[in-house]
């Protein structure tokens, strides 16, 4: 009871009638995203393509049932549908935009793989068609940009020549004589797809009639995957969408940078260079400001017991770097200790001149133990962060108390 595969000889068949030969309730299939009750149908003939050879399954209608999945089960093809057809004679209809997209990608893949192989000696070891992108994995040395562009250009030349794409049948030996790209060790009659004058390879998939219908082949990124090179590409309608999307990105970037589209790269480089220069300037100014403020604070802090000047201060609205600059500048003088914090995020910094004779790391640990937080450092310089920024004031009071 083998299913006749109508798509083998007519990949452009969109509607057909068939007879339901078998119908059964299937268990839920979480991997396929099927949670409710579904039915498995076997028809006497079908134009629905099952997932195989890198090409995803078709969708569409069988009677009034929606097709959710199509599986190749060897002799037969199983159609997973969301309801049981009421009549054994069914009118069927393929989701054509989806299928035609798959055909553009699949024929485009044959052509692109042929160009990588012919011109650059890079064989394709696998093909995947995703919802957005298609990929082939090439084996061999890393393809440089010139090779990626060269294969793309060569493939598009064949597209522009609008060469016929033919289905060929023959035994492995016959196909081998015709120069098939990949030898198959299988008996009986095999199916192969020929792009006239460019490629012949065994394939059970659906293909466009001539290369012009591929539209265009657009090669995108290339990245390493295990020992192979994964090349992303899109063809036809996908290439149109991707190119349109890229153009929007360039246009929006140019608007942001207030420059012409041709100038985005130089304008972006300038913006990054300016940002880096500004960062350096701001840091230098921050350090000078901290040193000036620390000098003023030192004047205003009278010596306490044993002649040690202890400054305790919670800062608001300053970057975290500022604490370090300020603490270092303040604790440079004889017998000084700075206990500093930021109000917003509870950063702590304890610094002393060695002559003050305390242990900043030990002090910080004790404060954090009580107030909650993380940090550490040396005897003279320790940093930490409170779990709760709002407790900065309390943490500094505690530190003062501990210093006695």
The residues of the shown chain that bind Zn ion, judged by CB under 5 A, are 203, 205
Q: At closest approach, how far in Å is the CB of 112 from Zn ion?
A: 12
Smaller CB distance to Zn ion: residue 201 or 361?
Answer: 201
Q: Look at strands 199-202 and 217-225 and give their pairing.
A: unpaired
- The rounded distance, in Å, linking the Cα atoms of 349 and 327 is 7
Smaller CB distance to Zn ion: residue 62 or 190?
Answer: 190
**191 within 8 A of 167, measured Cβ to Cβ:** yes
Smaller CB distance to Zn ion: residue 44 or 72?
Answer: 72
Q: At closest approach, how far in Å is the CB of 202 from Zn ion?
A: 8
CA distances from 296 to 238, 284, 314 (A): 66, 19, 16
CA distances from 168 to 1, 158, 174, 301, 347 (A): 25, 19, 10, 94, 74
Smaller CB distance to Zn ion: residue 60 or 205?
Answer: 205
Q: At closest approach, how far in Å is the CB of 131 from Zn ion?
A: 19
Smaller CB distance to Zn ion: residue 52 or 171?
Answer: 52
All residues at 6 or more sequence positions from 210 whose CB lies less than 8 Å from its CB, including other chains: 162, 163, 164, 165
> What is the per-residue burial (b if ≥16 Cβ within 10 Å, else e) of 257-287?
bebeeeebeebeeeeeeeeeeeeeeeeeebb
Smaller CB distance to Zn ion: residue 190 or 203?
Answer: 203
CA distances from 110 to 104, 153, 175, 248 (A): 10, 15, 16, 30
Smaller CB distance to Zn ion: residue 232 or 353?
Answer: 232
Q: At closest approach, how far in Å is the CB of 25 from Zn ion?
A: 34
Tell me the residue number closest to Zn ion, measured at CB: 203
Q: Look at strands 347-352 and 381-386 and give their pairing.
A: antiparallel
Q: At closest approach, how far in Å is the CB of 61 from Zn ion?
A: 26
Smaller CB distance to Zn ion: residue 206 or 347?
Answer: 206
As a residue count, the chain comes to 404
Smaller CB distance to Zn ion: residue 126 or 162?
Answer: 126
Q: At closest approach, how far in Å is the CB of 43 from Zn ion?
A: 24
Q: At closest approach, how far in Å is the CB of 128 from Zn ion?
A: 12
Return the half-sphere exposure (C-beta side, CA atoms, 13 A cut-off) of residue 394: 10
Return the half-sphere exposure (C-beta side, CA atoms, 13 A cut-off) of residue 177: 6
The two tokens of residue 50 are 């099952």
Q: At closest approach, how far in Å is the CB of 126 from Zn ion?
A: 11
**363 within 8 A of 379, measured Cβ to Cβ:** no
Q: At closest approach, how far in Å is the CB of 58 from Zn ion?
A: 15
Closest CA to 310 of 340, 271, 343, 285: 340
**264 within 8 A of 257, measured Cβ to Cβ:** yes
């Amino acid at each position: 009871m083998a299913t006749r595969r109508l798509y083998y000889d007519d990949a452009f068949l969109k509607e057909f009638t068939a007879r339901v030969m078998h119908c059964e309730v299937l268990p839920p299939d979480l991997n396929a995203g099927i949670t409710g009750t579904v039915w498995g149908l076997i028809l006497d003939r079908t134009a629905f393509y099952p997932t195989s050879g890198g090409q995803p399954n078709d969708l569409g209608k069988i009677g009034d049932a929606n097709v959710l999945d199509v599986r190749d089960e060897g002799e037969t093809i199983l159609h997973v549908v969301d309801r049981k057809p009421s009549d054994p004679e069914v009118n069927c209809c393929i989701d054509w935009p989806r299928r035609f997209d798959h055909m553009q990608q699949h024929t485009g893949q044959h052509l692109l793989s042929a160009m990588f192989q012919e011109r650059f000696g890079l064989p394709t070891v696998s093909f995947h068609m995703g919802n957005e992108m298609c990929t082939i994995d090439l084996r061999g040395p890393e393809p440089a940009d010139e090779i990626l562009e060269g294969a793309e250009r060569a493939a598009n030349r064949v597209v522009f020549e609008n060469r016929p794409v033919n289905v060929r049948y023959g035994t492995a030996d016959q196909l081998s004589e015709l120069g098939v790209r990949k030898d198959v060790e299988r008996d009986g009659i095999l199916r192969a797809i020929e792009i006239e004058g460019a490629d012949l390879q065994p394939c059970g998939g659906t293909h466009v009639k001539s290369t012009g219908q591929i539209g265009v082949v657009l090669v995108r990124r290339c990245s390493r995957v295990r020992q192979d090179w994964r090349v992303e590409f899109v063809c036809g309608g996908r290439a149109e969408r991707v190119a349109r999307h890229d153009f929007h990105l360039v246009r929006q970037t140019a608007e942001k940078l207030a420059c012409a589209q041709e100038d985005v790269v130089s304008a972006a480089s300038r913006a990054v260079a300016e940002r880096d220069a500004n960062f350096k300037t701001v840091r230098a100014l921050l350090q000078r400001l901290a040193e000036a403020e620390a000098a003023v604070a030192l004047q205003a802090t009278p010596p306490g017991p044993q002649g040690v000047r202890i400054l305790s201060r919670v800062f608001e609205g300053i970057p975290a770097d500022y604490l370090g600059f300020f603490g270092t500048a303040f604790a440079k003088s004889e017998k000084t200790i700075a206990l500093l914090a930021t109000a917003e995020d509870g950063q702590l910094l304890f610094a002393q001149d060695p002559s003050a004779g305390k242990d900043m790391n030990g002090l910080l640990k004790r404060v954090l133990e009580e107030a909650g937080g993380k940090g550490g450092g040396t005897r003279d310089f320790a940093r930490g962060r409170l779990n709760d920024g709002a407790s900065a004031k309390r943490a500094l009071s505690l530190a003062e108390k501990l210093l006695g």
